[in-house]
Chains A and B, each alone.
Chain A
């Protein structure tokens, strides 16, 4: 009976093999793409670069002495992204694995031309990482991807770690692919992408890169840059971060650096005399980090003065940033349009048609309440000479 049954079992189990190795991935040929770069070359053709990771044993597992390059960089030109990738696959002779891509790097030149035709690949491709971080590079992308040096062997991993770090979040303004892609089409909330900029050091061959500034997009085109200080305002307004450092230097106070915590911020659309206004309310707690001024915080006057100076400075920066965005760049990178959409969906319908041009008419009013809660170890001022003895 056993033989009788096993005959059928064998025949049935052969049926399992009919599926073959459908969608099986050849694991040993698999090469992780850590970064993708898009740019245009001198002839105006799309130039795609990929940074491939050569897996190494972690140092903890005795892989410290391995002598092989950690990364390899391949570049190819093509009409579309897929076209160029096909060429790269031929060059690299490996199966490219996009599911753990850390960084998507866009060249500034390409970004200024507009990304209209390139993004279809990223919308369509199932095997890719929507969590990869998007950056705009001012340097030539193949150079950045092959020569940039970080402490970690694979630079893209270091960049990703930087974006994930909470302390750097306010100024880095990191944006991931799943946020970036829809914002290219969404006039009510446009993309703002951190820049990857070389720290000029012409003598050494290695490139030291800095992640700073913010490239503002109007639809699919890059229209301008914001400084890191302005980037911080953007990340507060978009509620990406509730932390930040802020320096105040006015004619009364030379320079005091504050650390802001627990920032609560709200944008509210208000109609005043038929005119659309943006009201920003911000509540935060501040800590004094350093001061070049002698501050005596036992005096209430001093604290009050600091609080007013700080709130004036912040509100000025907010207004400056928003006006820069709205009037110079005509791009809503803080999502005010979305705020209106949520608050008054009906009036949004009339607004959304020509939103980018209506931005210039919007006035910003900000009200800021600040509480200075900590001043570090010093209360009254700098150490007096008598105390030291």
Chain B
């Protein structure tokens, strides 16, 4: 037996251990295999492998399946013999250096080192603990599928694939993150997605240089158009049916390992105001709800600023009875209208943040306390007038109708901006603000698609589809 060979296997093992810095979750199982009782080591990282697979596919065939097997001096080298004859795992690979071993080991593979043989065998025993498929917390529906994405890339892709069982469905995987080595996958339907869009997104993904990707927003922020803009140009969702609809539309989805939020590109303002449930409800109902959502968008943006603007600059616009009741309820309130609106809006934002961060059991308590504090006590103590409570509550309700969390956040910030403009210039200021907003929105794009399409530039058919939920029976032609 040449000494060098013995050394190679030992060396490889030592090298592995030292490269992983003697990490204590590295497990080793030593055994003797074959009739010749050759010492072998099975190496894996705890928690990343499925114990069941490890036992059934690797350790038990190695030990009990090789007892009557002569490993040495056969026509094939012992590694190949083991691979093709003994190991029952679905994916087996030969590796030679520790540089090849380490990435596999850390992604949940098991390495088998056999003494006196060159290199090692890597067996796929990946078995990460994953959450079961639940209803997504961020977007629940009344009617529609209740499954949501989980944190595993392969499960997520399978969730999409089981909805589109066609050969045109494409998945392109790449690894991002110098330390995290996160797998991300581009998913699209081959003959529907625009080739240039796919190429552009692929180019952007490949040029990502980042240490770690812990959530898909890392990717979103790097690849999005107009990165300084407040508006989201990348859509994100937790719902597989949503993603399936998106890629059927010819858009591209990006699935990131480790997060249930899947990105989709391109994304316009109107994509952010649609929901999948629009398609699951009867078309008149869905159209009506969609209009309410559109109204909610503007109400969130403009209601507090219009209130402040009109009261401070144009009170003659208020109908007499309303003016009388506003004036009387503001009687004795120590703050000016702007102050009042601003304070209430900020309190509401605080309340909203608090109720998200609170443990679920206390969350309901917070909302009760908040509602009581804001609604009842402040008004009764005469610190805040009741119309402004109504305005803030109306704005809050309207902001909840916006389906996209990121868009709703943007609008909620811009609301303060509009509030300031209205307090300085009245309705004139609001119009200035709307013009600025319009200029900004019209100048934006999402991977080549103008952000305000299909309205600017105007495309009749698609604009119709954006305003109304067009029923299926009128759409005979293929999209």
A→B interface (CB under 8 Å) = 16-17, 19, 21-25, 27-28, 30, 32, 53, 55-58, 61, 63, 97, 99-100, 102, 127, 129, 157
With known contacts A23-B426, A100-B320, A30–B325 Cβ distance under 8 A: no
Q: Which 9 A-B pairs have the closest CB atoms?
A: A99-B316, A55-B328, A55-B327, A55-B324, A57-B328, A100-B320, A27-B311, A24-B312, A56-B328
With known contacts A16-B424, A55-B325, A56-B328, A28–B320 Cβ distance under 8 A: no
Least CB distance, A384 to chain B, in whole angstroms: 53
Max chain B Cβ within 10 angstroms of own Cβ: one of A23, A28, A99, A102 = A28
Residue contact A30 to B315, C-beta cutoff 8 Å: yes
Residue contact B327 to A32, C-beta cutoff 8 Å: yes
Residue contact A21 to B315, C-beta cutoff 8 Å: no
Which listed residue, B316, B323, B327, B424, touches A19 by the CB 8 Å rule? B424
Nearest CB in chain A to that of B330: its residue: A28
Least CB distance, A72 to chain B, in whole angstroms: 14
Least CB distance, A34 to chain B, in whole angstroms: 9
Residue contact A32 to B325, C-beta cutoff 8 Å: no
Q: Does B134 contact A (CB under 8 A)?
A: no
With known contacts A19-B425, A55-B331, A57-B328, A32–B313 Cβ distance under 8 A: no
Residue contact B325 to A58, C-beta cutoff 8 Å: yes
Cβ–Cβ < 8 Å partners of A58 in chain B = 321, 324-325
Cβ–Cβ < 8 Å partners of B337 in chain A = 27
**Distance, CA A19 to CA B330, complexed state (A):** 26
Cβ–Cβ < 8 Å partners of B327 in chain A = 27, 30, 32, 55
Nearest CB in chain A to that of B314: its residue: A25
Total CB contacts across the A-B interface at under 8 A: 62
Residue contact A25 to B315, C-beta cutoff 8 Å: yes
**Distance, CA A32 to CA B426, complexed state (A):** 20
Which listed residue, B311, B315, B321, B426, touches A99 by the CB 8 Å rule? B315
With known contacts A23-B313, A24-B312, A32–B320 Cβ distance under 8 A: yes
Cβ–Cβ < 8 Å partners of B325 in chain A = 55, 57-58, 61
Cβ–Cβ < 8 Å partners of A28 in chain B = 330, 333, 336
1/0 contact string of B60-104 vs chain A (CB within 8 Å): 000000000000000000000000000000000000000000000
Least CB distance, A165 to chain B, in whole angstroms: 16
Residue contact A32 to B424, C-beta cutoff 8 Å: no
Which listed residue, B313, B329, B425, touches A25 by the CB 8 Å rule? B313
Cβ–Cβ < 8 Å partners of A17 in chain B = 424
Cβ–Cβ < 8 Å partners of A100 in chain B = 316, 320, 323
Residue contact B323 to A32, C-beta cutoff 8 Å: yes
Cβ–Cβ < 8 Å partners of A97 in chain B = 315-316
**Distance, CA A25 to CA B311, complexed state (A):** 8
B residues 265-284 touching A (CB-CB < 8 Å) = none
Residue contact A21 to B316, C-beta cutoff 8 Å: no
List 21 A–B pairs whose Cβ atoms lie within 8 Å, in order of A's numbering: A16-B420, A16-B421, A17-B424, A19-B424, A22-B425, A24-B312, A27-B336, A28-B336, A30-B315, A32-B320, A32-B327, A55-B323, A55-B327, A56-B324, A57-B328, A61-B329, A97-B316, A99-B315, A99-B316, A100-B323, A127-B316
**Distance, CA A39 to CA B328, complexed state (A):** 31
Least CB distance, B105 to chain A, in whole angstroms: 40
Chain B's interface size range is 20 to 34
**Distance, CA A56 to CA B424, complexed state (A):** 29
Residue contact B328 to A63, C-beta cutoff 8 Å: yes
B residues 303-344 touching A (CB-CB < 8 Å) = 311-313, 315-316, 320-321, 323-325, 327-331, 333, 336-337
**Distance, CA A16 to CA B436, complexed state (A):** 15
Least CB distance, B320 to chain A, in whole angstroms: 5
With known contacts A56-B328, A61-B325, A27–B424 Cβ distance under 8 A: no
**Distance, CA A27 to CA B421, complexed state (A):** 17
B residues 175-212 touching A (CB-CB < 8 Å) = none
Which listed residue, B313, B324, B333, B420, touches A53 by the CB 8 Å rule? B324
Nearest CB in chain B to that of A157: its residue: B320
Cβ–Cβ < 8 Å partners of A27 in chain B = 311-312, 315, 327, 330, 336-337
Cβ–Cβ < 8 Å partners of A25 in chain B = 312-313, 315
**Distance, CA A27 to CA B309, complexed state (A):** 11
B residues 324-372 touching A (CB-CB < 8 Å) = 324-325, 327-331, 333, 336-337
**Distance, CA A32 to CA B313, complexed state (A):** 15
Nearest CB in chain B to that of A19: its residue: B424
**Distance, CA A157 to CA B320, complexed state (A):** 9
Max chain A Cβ within 10 angstroms of own Cβ: one of B320, B337, B420 = B320
Cβ–Cβ < 8 Å partners of B331 in chain A = 55
**Distance, CA A25 to CA B323, complexed state (A):** 14
Nearest CB in chain A to that of B329: its residue: A57
Nearest CB in chain B to that of A97: its residue: B315
**Distance, CA A53 to CA B331, complexed state (A):** 13
Residue contact B320 to A21, C-beta cutoff 8 Å: no
Max chain A Cβ within 10 angstroms of own Cβ: one of B311, B324, B325 = B324
Max chain B Cβ within 10 angstroms of own Cβ: one of A19, A53, A55, A63 = A55
Nearest CB in chain B to that of A60: its residue: B325
Cβ–Cβ < 8 Å partners of B426 in chain A = 23-24
Nearest CB in chain B to that of A31: its residue: B327
**Distance, CA A173 to CA B421, complexed state (A):** 45
**Distance, CA A100 to CA B312, complexed state (A):** 16
**Distance, CA A127 to CA B330, complexed state (A):** 23
**Distance, CA A157 to CA B336, complexed state (A):** 28
Q: Give 10 A-B pairs besides A27-B336, A100-B316 with Cβ atoms closer than 8 angstroms.
A: A19-B425, A21-B312, A23-B426, A27-B312, A30-B327, A32-B324, A61-B329, A63-B328, A99-B315, A129-B316
**Distance, CA A22 to CA B425, complexed state (A):** 7
Cβ–Cβ < 8 Å partners of B336 in chain A = 27-28
Least CB distance, B364 to chain A, in whole angstroms: 29
Residue contact A24 to B313, C-beta cutoff 8 Å: yes
**Distance, CA A23 to CA B421, complexed state (A):** 14
Cβ–Cβ < 8 Å partners of B328 in chain A = 55-57, 63
